[in-house]
Amino acid sequence: MYNKEESNKLQKSTERLLSHIKDSTYEAKHLNELREVLRFHEYRYYILNDPLVSDFEYDQLYKMLEKIEAADPTLITSDSPTQRVAKGLTKDFPTVQHLVPMLSLENSYNADDLLDWDRKARELTGLDKVEYCVEPKFDGASISLIYENDLLVRGATRGDGVEGDEITTNIKQIRSVPLSAKFSEFGIQQIEIRGEVLMTKQNFKKYNDFLAEQNLPPLANPRNSAAGTLRIKDPKEVAKRNLEAFLYHVSYITTNKPSTSKLLATHSGMLEMLWQLGFRSPDKEKKVLKGIDAVIKYCHAFEEERDNLPYEVDGMVIKVNDLALQDKMGMTSHHPRWAIAFKFKARQATSKLRAVEYQVGRTGAVTPVAKIDPVPIGGVTVGSISLHNADFIEEKDIRLGDTVLVERAGDVIPYIVKSLADARTGGEKKIKFPDKCPVCGYKLEKPEGEAVWRCNNSLKCEAQVVERIIHFTSKDAMDIRGFGDAIVRKFYDLGFLKDIPGIYQLPYEKIRGLEGFGEKSINNLKQAIENSKQQPLHRLIYALGIRYIGETTGKTLANAVEHLLDFKNFSLEQLQNLEDVGPKVAGSIYEFFSNKENIQMLEKLESLGVKLKNDKKELSTGGNLSGQTFLFTGTLTKLKRSDAEEMVEKNGGKILSGVSSKLNYLVVGEDAGSKLEKAKKINTVKIISEDEFLSIIG
């Protein structure tokens, strides 16, 4: 898209514009250059995943553009980078007709199916060996985009294939979709492009974690979440979910001057054109292969790599590469004859729902868990699946004895997609949610507007006490190695442990007599427990299992105090003033620190040696790394990465998540890869070894 010369030019422009910002000497004449520069950096970031400026620098340039446009709104163009951000809410999504119906694909499941299909393709084309383009079958929501005179004019969902919903504003929130592209260089006046909108596995997980913190049921898979996000009426919310788009098919073109480009003659050429114009089209992922044997081999090889991809792929699509041959082969009423999908092993299965059990979590939330006849899905046998809450059961009308459709997408937890109502025989029974806590018998309550039934006997309900201890010791909390749930439950049942402070007063003389507890394992456990006393404050806060307080909020809270008990003196208002703390979170913290028993527990922990002080806060202002930023890459040989990072923070430095010009030091271990390469390109980043790092720390 940008050759070396152009990149250098734009990088120089970037520097010049940044210096104008610094001196406040920018004006309207910089407008076009500024937009070019912003588009360039969006491309580096969203398409190549290889940014050349820091987020901060990008934001500065973006704000400069906003200011110039605000001073004279007549200068705004529809493809200006500022026009992604929509203000207000979308009313309705009007129905629009696709220029060409969005057909589906024929499916194949094994090599034999592909051999059959290839035979037909050879017959229809009259060739001995057909050239195919093979690319991933992206598992998301399909969209169609129309560009006219180089501008994105319309984005739509697939709908019924003939008509879809117009979602242009939401599409503009997807940063990898260019608002304008120089199709005119190929003589193209109007073009309709198809593609798939995806949510990466990582963003999907983040989003589900966020839902879980709000006690909301998770979404089934990244596909549903991409499709759902596209239909949200608030474009700002759409922007937050970080969707991505792969464009894989040109369905319609009008030209206004002849093009000499060879690219327009083949499918792979079209993908190449899209890539050159700044789209994310299958690039390294696609292969042009002659003959079906090579295709079959590539499909199998790709399936092996399926779990290593950052996004979900449910198969491969094989397309006849020559567009003239595609025309010759034509379409049936629901699929083209020149393409076929090769589906990977299903990650769905059906099974029978035999029973529902109820689990009580550390916050008292009662979660129904479906027990199904165990079925293998994607290499794992699934027998238990969370049903989340009573509303989930109600909405999906799930009944005992039902045949249920179960999905396990990638590394995502299994999920009941639906009950198959048609398979009912009449003996199925409605699920009756209990009105009493299945563990302590306390009456369950469901506050107005919430989906979760809760046991509020929080200090006495055994399930909650045990779950709180388990959470306290867990890896992301106090990280007491070797003190997993089985041991916590065992010690609790034997009466060795009854609350969190009890972890630090275990009766080792009694434990010594237990099976499986030799001197060595006892010493290891003792040591792990001892080490946990020094965990940073944010871990302790998270470990306490206060409702709505996840790891991120734990960090915000830790940074706000010098000692955990300082929170006793915080008003609700002060709590709400903290970054990212809303009324719900503030209320929960306030309630926790207003409870006498909680305060007594914290005082007890402190008397047993657990650190309630915030070391970082004391040190961060005076540390010798104050104001310096670090990033570690490769394998460190002398230090654990997390320890090294903590050393930086204790000395007042900051850890960055990626290489940019904001970075001061890149500490390089063994086998360092792309971060090192990137850092070499930025003059201001100091690249140092682990030893050099240790000498800086002193």
**Of the residues 30, 41, 44, 137, which one makes contact with ligand IVH according to CB under 6 A:** 137
The full DSSP string for 329-355 is H-B-SSSBTTEEEEEPPPSEEEEEEEE
Both tokens assigned to 126: 């009259």
Q: How far is the CB of 132 from ligand IVH (least distance, A)?
A: 13
The Cα 588–Cα 405 span in angstroms is: 37
Burial (Cβ within 10 Å: 0-12, 13-18, ≥19) of residue 533: middle
Between 139 and 467, whose beta carbon lies closer to ligand IVH?
Answer: 139
Report, in Å, the least distance between residue 207 CB and ligand IVH.
21
- Per CB under 6 A, 317 contacts ligand IVH: yes
Give the position of tokens 């360039």.
40
**Cβ-based nearer residue to ligand IVH, 106 or 148:** 106
DSSP state string for 544-605: TT-TT--HHHHHHHHHH-SBGGGGGG--HHHHHTSTT--HHHHHHHHHHHH-HHHHHHHHHH
Among 339, 377, 602, 644, binds ligand IVH (CB under 6 A): 339
Q: Within positions 387 to 446, which residues make up the interface with ligand IVH, using CB under 6 A?
A: none
Residue corresponding to tokens 């969707």 = 243
Which is closer to ligand IVH, CB of 333 or CB of 695? 333
Report strand pairing: 339-343 vs 107-108: parallel
Query: Which of 19, 104, 523, 534 lies at the binding interface for ligand IVH (CB under 6 A)?
Result: 104
Number of chain residues interacting with ligand IVH (CB under 6 A): 15
Part in contact with ligand IVH (CB under 6 A); list of ranges 98-106, 123-131, 320-328, 455-463: 98-106
Which range of residues in 54-62, 335-343, 523-531, 587-595 is near ligand IVH by CB under 6 A?
A: 335-343
Q: Which stretch binds ligand IVH (CB under 6 A): 97-105, 293-301, 468-476, 653-661?
A: 97-105
CB of 200 to ligand IVH, least distance (A): 15
125 or 389: CB nearest ligand IVH: 125
Pick between residue 273 and residue 558 the one whose CB is nearest to ligand IVH.
273
- If residue 23 lies in a helix (H) or strand (E), which one and from where to where? helix 4-23
- With CB under 6 A as the contact rule, the residue among 196, 322, 407, 690 that binds ligand IVH is 196
Q: Is 343 in the site for ligand IVH (CB under 6 A)?
A: no
Please identify which of the residues 137, 286, 343, 654 carries the catalytic annotation: 137
Site string for ligand IVH, 270-309 (x = CB under 6 A): ----------------------------------------
Q: Is 142 in the site for ligand IVH (CB under 6 A)?
A: yes
* Whole-angstrom distance, CA of residue 387 vs CA of residue 217: 8
Cβ atoms of 20 and 37 within 8 Å: the answer is no
| Residue 249 binding ligand IVH, by CB under 6 A | yes
Query: Given the complex with ligand IVH, which of 336 and 368 has the nearer CB atom?
Result: 336
User: Which DSSP string corresponds to 180-218?
Assistant: B--GGGGTEEEEEEEEEEE--HHHHHHHHHHHHHTTPPP
**Is the Cα dihedral 67, 70, 71, 77 positive or negative?**
positive
**Residue 430, Cβ density class (10 Å: 0-12 exposed, 13-18 middle, ≥19 buried):** exposed
Candidates 320, 183, 192, 322; CA nearest to 259 is 183
- For strands 429-430 and 399-400, give the pairing: antiparallel
Question: Residue from 138, 311, 570, 665 that binds ligand IVH (CB under 6 A)?
Answer: 138
Of 341, 439, 451, 561, the one binding ligand IVH (CB under 6 A) is 341
In the complex, least distance from residue 311 CB atom to ligand IVH, rounded to whole angstroms: 11
**Unique residue bearing structure tokens 């792929």:** 313
Rank residues 70 and 346 by Cβ distance to ligand IVH and give the closer one: 346
Q: Is the CB of 103 or the CB of 697 nearer to ligand IVH?
A: 103
How near is the Cβ of 543 to ligand IVH at its closest, in Å? Answer: 43
Q: Confirm if 144 and 159 have CB atoms less than 8 A apart.
A: no
Stretch that binds ligand IVH, among 91-99, 130-138, 398-406, 673-681 (CB under 6 A): 130-138
Element (H, E) at 245: strand 244-255
- Which one of residues 105, 238, 487, 540 is an interface residue with ligand IVH (CB under 6 A)? 105
227 sits in which H/E element: helix 222-230
Residue 320 in the binding site for ligand IVH (CB under 6 A):
no
Tokens of 56: 């901060």
Catalytic residue status for 432: no
Which residues here bind ligand IVH, judged by CB under 6 A? 103-105, 135, 137-138, 142, 194, 196, 248-249, 317, 336, 339, 341
Active-site residue list: 137
